[in-house]
Structure 1
Amino acid sequence: MGPIFYILIALPCTVGAIALAILHIYRHLLNYTEPTYQRYIVRIIFMVPVYALMSFLSLVLNKRAIYFNSIREVYEAWVIYNFLSLCLAWVGGPGAVVLSLSGKVLKPNWCLMTCCFPPIPLDGRFIRRCKQGCLQFVILKPILVAVTLILYTKGNYRDGNFNPRQSYLYLTIIYTISYSVALYALAVFYLACRDLLQPFNPVPKFIIIKSVVFLTYWQGVLVFLAAKSGLIKNTEEAAEFQNFIICVEMLIAAVGHLYAFPYKEYAGANIGTSGDFSASISHALKFNDFYHDTVHQVILQFTPILLCSRAPLGTKSIL
């Protein structure tokens, strides 16, 4: 068990964060008048209970923390996918974005590290690349978690151990690259579509998503680096401090979600239906949208390449 001081503060923060988030989700489901949007909003808000509960359990049962942290890390990838999907739904879907941005380009920008490249056409390929940038993280993250657990059981993984003979360093590098690609895809998409997204007040939503998902990750890396440099006694204390901080931060995030994703925007709307609580839950929990995107944006995109690469020399692919 972690320090009792941490637990006494983390417990009310965790309970408060979960209670606020569940109440917020409940109100959205009761006013489920725009399922196209609220499906993603409900999934995003649920990140608070997942983060808070898994972090608290990691703090209390610190010998099993890696298992709880794995659940939290998989869900953060899920949040990134749902946030991009929500942004696309707001602007009418990929087809509507392509029509609205037809003929436009994303000018070279030093902030986006495109200053040395020609303008990027805002076409269907651009939207596809943005979705693929997020989907690669959603698909890769569970794989990395599974590899981490296997290496952990074999004694080849330990949080915060940057020894080249341990796998933590290499998994962190792969994870950081994948993470950065997903963040970059979100940032590029926002800059390209910010005029279309303006009616939906996207700025506070982008801020809270990036704060919870991306800043907590870098916060964890910095905490473990502090342990390596001696500012924190050891990696165990660093992990306990990280979990404690996340419990506190989730209470703030739960309040932030109330303002970033208010249910009152959908209360009384004439679109869709409201009041059928069980049907609302069923719709929000269906993963058919993720399956569709994975098949069309990843599998079908790379299948022709694989088939052509396996075709015998001198033959032509029908694709």
Structure 2
Amino acid sequence: MGSSTNYTCPTSTVTDPAQSPIVGSLSFHQLITIISGACTVFACVLSFYLIFRHATHYSLPKEQRHIIRIIFMIPVFAILSFLSVIWYDGAEYLKPIESAYEAFALASFFLLLCAYVQEDDNERQTFLQTSGTMKQYTAATIGSFQFPVVMIVLLVVTEITQATGSYCETSNSIHFAHIWVTVLSALSTVVAISSVLRYYKALKPTIKHRKPLSKLVGFKAIVFLNFVQTIIFSLLTSNNDLKPTNHITYNDLSIGLPNLILCLEMVIFSIAFLFIYRTQEYIFKASAESAVPLGHGGYQGGFMGFRAYGQAINFLDIIQGIVSVPGLLMSKRTAKKGGKAWVTGPQVSRV
């Protein structure tokens, strides 16, 4: 990455024409602020309702803590996108936070798949060893837990380079941080998603009764859409392909429009998640069999689910997973040399 003292970030040559209201007396910016605000409120209400349902029917903490984290991704995306619509100048500082939380949510999804395989860590490790799925597990562990580390580092780099003027979103020159952050983010995302997908395919015969496919598709759709939209608008911005009109400014197109789209998508996903991450399978039914092995002490979320919220925001399990990666790599190397390797991996049983 170069320094802005040696290279000058090209400023946009686009000049906004004189603006006129687009609907009544409302400008385009005011209109999308209202729409994105309404979408954010709607998406947050539905998401918090679903989180509350899981927290108050917290029968399997080892699974539901991860589900709560995944659902919370919708309010995070919606609120940050809404704030970006309101505050164009601050959007460049807010958007990287989405990617950082997305990485933690994907790591939680991987741990959810692990919990589906076996609740007990030692029993799960034994199953992975004997079933021949250890290779996919190792790759998914590394892929999942490199993602939060990389995205946190890129978040810090982005914030610093934005503040110092060496980020330069309008240029794809290797002398600015923007192109490096974009490429590294794309590579890290692809590695994480592909490794988790291969892990799911290897375990599909074992966990298909838990119906994880819809959860995988729903989560992957959010990550994929956000990834694609970020790349598309980044390219359009850097190539000056966005042309303002007398109703829409350049910032409306480059910042307001993509964040409005994301707010609209969060409405759709908040509705879909009510069915994808429904609570019915975690509710005790005296007269019906359930695919979920209930009976671990009743609902354990505490008063109004506060214990569940506390466990969900405790990311020590993900930190432990990140710390386990070096040992996992060493164990993998030992196995290649013909030694006996026992892989510990992330501990999903700690709640």
1:69 to 95, 99, 122: 95
1:272 to 279, 292, 297: 297
Which residue in the other structure is 1:151 paired with?
161
Deviates more, 1:156-165 or 1:194-203: 156-165
Cα deviation per residue 1:170-216 (whole Å; 9 max; x = unaligned)?
A: 11111111111101111111111111121111121111111111221
Change beyond 3 A, Cα 1:295–1:229: closer
Change beyond 3 A, Cα 1:6–1:87: same
Which residue in the other structure is 2:65 paired with?
39
Change beyond 3 A, Cα 1:245–1:272: farther
Q: State whether residues 74 and 145 of structure 1, in contact with CA within 8 Å, keep that contact through their aligned partners in structure 2.
A: yes
1:239 to 233, 249, 255: 255
What is the alpha-carbon distance in structure 1 between the residues aligned to residue 331 and residue 206 of structure 2?
A: 33
Which residue in the other structure is 1:286 paired with?
314
Which residue in the other structure is 2:266 paired with?
250
What is the alpha-carbon distance in structure 2 between the residues aligned to residue 160 and residue 179 of structure 1?
A: 22
Change beyond 3 A, Cα 1:247–1:165: same
Q: Give structure 2 stretches of 5+ with no counterpart.
A: 1-26, 245-249, 285-293, 333-351
Which residue in the other structure is 1:80 paired with?
106
Which residue in the other structure is 2:133 paired with?
122
Q: Give structure 1 stretches of 5+ with no counterpart.
A: 105-120, 306-319
Change beyond 3 A, Cα 1:186–1:302: closer
Residue 160 of structure 1, CA deviation:
4.8
Q: Which runs of 4+ in 1 moved over 4 A?
A: 93-104, 228-231, 301-305
Residue 97 of structure 1, CA deviation:
5.1
What is the alpha-carbon distance in structure 2 between the residues aligned to residue 67 and residue 244 of structure 1?
A: 17
Q: Which entry has the higher C-alpha Rg, 1 or 2? A: 2
Which residue in the other structure is 2:291 paired with?
none
SS at match of 1:46: helix
Higher RCO, 1 vs 2 (CA within 8 Å, ≥6 residues apart): 2
Residue 253 of structure 1, CA deviation:
0.9
What is the alpha-carbon distance in structure 1 between the residues aligned to residue 267 and residue 169 of structure 2?
A: 25
Aligned length: 287
TM-score calculated relative to the size of structure 1: 0.82
Residue 96 of structure 1, CA deviation:
4.5
What is the alpha-carbon distance in structure 1 between the residues aligned to residue 207 and residue 242 of structure 2?
A: 43
Residue 297 of structure 1, CA deviation:
2.5
SS at match of 2:47: helix
Which residue in the other structure is 1:170 paired with?
180
Q: State whether residues 80 and 98 of structure 2, in contact with CA within 8 Å, keep that contact through their aligned partners in structure 1.
A: yes
TM-score calculated relative to the size of structure 2: 0.75
Report the residue type matching 1:12 in the other structure: A
Q: State whether residues 2 and 60 of structure 1, in contact with CA within 8 Å, keep that contact through their aligned partners in structure 2.
A: no
SS at match of 1:70: helix
Residues 1:179 and 2:189 are matched in the alignment: yes
